[in-house]
Amino acid sequence: MRLLLLSDTHLPARARSLQDQVWRLVDEADLVIHAGDWVDIATHDALSARASRLVGVAGNNDGPELWQRLGEVARVEVAGERIAVIHETGAAAGREARCDARFGPASDAPADVLVFGHSHIPWDSTTPGGVRLLNPGSPTDRRRQPVGTVMTLEVSGGAVRSVELVPTPR
CATH of the domain at 114: 3.60.21.10
Q: How many domains does the chain have?
A: 1
Q: Provide the strand spans (E) within the chain.
A: 2-6, 31-34, 54-56, 73-78, 81-86, 113-115, 123-126, 132-135, 149-156, 159-167
Structural domain of 95? 2-167
Q: What is the pLDDT of residue 170?
A: 78
Read off the pLDDT of residues 3-62 as tens digits, 9 standing for 90 and up.
999 999 999 887 889 999 999 999 999 999 999 999 999 999 999 999 999 999 999 999
Task: Give the bridge partners for 154, in sequence order.
Answer: 2, 162
Read off the pLDDT of residues 144-167 as tens digits, 9 standing for 90 and up.
889 999 999 999 999 999 999 999
Work out the mean pLDDT of the chain and round it to a whole number: 96
Cβ contacts of 56 within 8 Å, gap of 6 or more: 33, 34, 35, 36, 38, 44, 47, 70, 74, 85
DSSP characters over 7-38: ----TTTT-SS--HHHHHHHHH-SEEEE-S--
Q: What is the pLDDT of residue 15?
A: 84
Q: What is the pLDDT of residue 16?
A: 86
- Asked if 157 and 80 count as a contact pair (C-beta separation under 8 A), the reply is yes
Q: What is the pLDDT of residue 40?
A: 93
Note if the bond before 12 is cis, omega within 30 degrees: yes
Span 98-106, average pLDDT:
96
Residue 90 pLDDT level (bands cut at 50, 70, 90): very high
